[in-house]
Amino acid sequence: MFGTRPPANQPRALFRHGLALLLALPFTASHAALTLSSTRIILDSDKTSTSIIIRNPSQQPYAVQAWVNTADDTATVAVPFLVIPQLFRLSPGKEQQVQINHLPNALPNDRESLFFFNAQEVPQASHEAGNVLNIALRTRIKLFYRPQSITGTPSAQLKQLEFSLQGNDGQAQLHVHNPTPYYFTFSRMEVTGTGQPVALKALEMVAPFARQVYPAPGIKPAAGMQVRFSIINDFGGSSEPLTLPVSLAR
């Protein structure tokens, strides 16, 4: 379960006994009790800060820890952001506004920079008799630092995306070139012009001035191919679908 394997230097019987005991402990369903007021955060460089609201709609109090880190998800990489408050108690039915301040930095001014906002909830210790397993759950959302020097909006630059279909060891791949300064997260994407439209899954975000490759199983090159897609906008919703041509590798 959870990809767990017994340590090489411990008997397997002891491991199985410990795992059985762990699974026998009572605990609540492992889904986040706290909610955030948005699914992504945009921090413009010309503003000193932005904020997000954390709510507790549950019936129990939680200790909440909030911080910003990088995609590596480690505490060893310094980030130019200060979260206030970083640790607080959130009573049932209450909410807390968390402020994210950006500090002097040397981040690129010609493109967005990606970070992540984290909110970890720790339930109050139970005073009931017996063993109780408390699970600290975390919600992690994207935080985009957007330089003031970037002009326009992400949606206005979608038409600059370039799509091409290429092969790799006999497998079709859809290549996306992003010549803009924005990150794009696709909420849907399908290739048309090959008969029945083919929807692509597991769509990784494409970074500014970068390329991303998506497996396109079952798609065969054909003249007049197009891709129809939507992105997740600044407010967490989907943009209006846009259709662009797909070039074929030569």
Instruction: Give me the CATH number covering residue 75.
Output: 2.60.40.10
Higher-pLDDT residue of 52 and 217 is 52
Final residue in a domain of this structure, among 121, 146, 171? 146
pLDDT digits (tens, 9 = 90+) for 79-133: 999 999 999 999 999 999 999 999 999 999 999 999 999 999 988 776 665 666 6
For residues 168 and 205, state if they share a domain.
Answer: yes
Token digits for 140? 């992690």
pTM of the model: 0.82
Q: Provide the number of structural domains found in the chain.
A: 2
Q: How many CB atoms lie within 10 A of CB 249?
A: 11
Where is 13: in which H helix or E strand? helix 12-24
Token digits for 68? 């910003």
Residue 62: inside a domain, yes or no?
Answer: yes
User: Which domain does 213 fall in, by range?
Assistant: 155-248
Distance between CA atoms of residues 231 and 237, nearest Å: 8
Final residue in a domain of this structure, among 97, 122, 146? 146
3-state SS assignment for residue 200? coil
For residues 46 and 136, state if they share a domain.
Answer: yes
Residue 1: inside a domain, yes or no?
Answer: no
The pLDDT of residue 70 is 97
The pLDDT of residue 249 is 72
